[in-house]
Amino acid sequence: MLNFDLIEDKVEFFEAPQLSQLEKKINQQIEINRAILLRVHSVSHQMHVDENGRCYYSAVVHFKSKAK
């Protein structure tokens, strides 16, 4: 049996070696989620520097339904 309930909340995780790449990944997913009526509710991000001095970026984006 198929269930067609709308998604009301969705949390997605992103990571990239450059901030511009991270931003691009998030923006692409925002467009995809817009098609299923989700909008960005909050964003949390972090930067980590490894032992070789390279930066690594990550983010958590919480999407919520536009319907509410």
Cα 30 to chain centroid, rounded: 7
Which has the higher per-residue pLDDT, 41 or 4?
41
DSSP tally for the chain: helices H, then strands E: 1, 3
Percent of the chain with pLDDT over 70: 91
CATH architecture of the domain covering 9-65: 2-Layer Sandwich (3.30)
Domain boundaries, the chain: 9-65
Residue 68: predicted pLDDT: 53
Question: Dihedrals φ, ψ of 2, to 5°?
Answer: -85, 140
Residue 67 pLDDT exceeds 70? no
- Taking CA atoms, 48 is separated from 24, 35, 54, 56, 60, in Å, by 19, 32, 8, 5, 14
